[in-house]
Amino acid sequence: MEIVMPCVVFFIIGFGLLKRVNVYDAFIKGAKNGLNTAIAILPSMGAMMVAVALLKESGLMAALVNVLAPVFALVGIDENAAPLMLMRPFSGSASLAILNSIFLTHGADSRAGLTASALMGSTETIFYTLSIYLAAAKVKKGRYAVAAAMLAWLFGGIAAGLFYK
């Protein structure tokens, strides 16, 4: 996998030179756009990360896990893996921390560990992705995107749960 990136870059620059493109100037121009995008999405990213931090630090997330664990258990998600199911759409780094603690407490090869592994890969950090993608496009109304993404998350979670029922 590590050869993909260098090869892609080699191809892009090589093809550019072959086509008589001023690759240096083009790179600078594009890079400037990239930096603008980075700055454009920072406020939305900050807003989302503050909200997620409040949910975590207040203890609300942990309380929700306790309430929702039996519901998740209905679809076959191990109760010890339930915290990850809930955290996954909100925070990537917090999800990784939960995954690791499940591995260390229950074992990576336990039912909770296996379910959690599949859960981790079944979806991305939905709210973070949505907030920065919408910010980059400067779009205010996401219409049904959140609903569809949350349903995707739910179905992915159910699939992961069924595997280790």
Partner 1 sequence: MLNWIWGIMVLMGILYGLICGNAGVLSAGMMDSAGDAVTLIIKMAGGFMLWNGLFEILEQSGAAKAIAGAMKPILGKLFRGVKTEESMTAMTMNLTMNMLGLGNAATPMGLRAMESLQRESDYGDSTSPAMCMFLVINASSIQLLPTTVLTLRRAAGSFMPEAVIWPTLCATAVSTLAGIFFCKLFEKGDKRLWKS
Site for partner 1 in 38-57 (CB under 8 A): 38-39, 41-42, 45-57
Residues sharing a CB contact under 8 Å with residue 93, sequence separation 6 or more, in sequence order: none
The only residue of 7, 60, 78, 82 in contact with partner 1, by rule CB under 8 A: 60
Contact pattern for partner 1 over residues 64 through 93, marking x by CB under 8 A: ------------------------------
Contact pattern for partner 1 over residues 111 through 140, marking x by CB under 8 A: --xx--xxxxxxxx-xx-xxxxxx-xxxxx
Torsion of CA 131, 77, 151, 97, to 10 degrees: 10
Are the beta carbons of 76 and 165 closer than 8 angstroms?
yes
Q: In the bound complex, what is the minimum distance in angstroms from residue 71's beta carbon to partner 1?
A: 18
The only residue of 66, 70, 71, 107 in contact with partner 1, by rule CB under 8 A: 107
Token pair recorded at residue 93: 């780094």
| Closer of 52 and 82 to partner 1 (Cβ) | 52
Residues sharing a CB contact under 8 Å with residue 55, sequence separation 6 or more, in sequence order: 61, 90
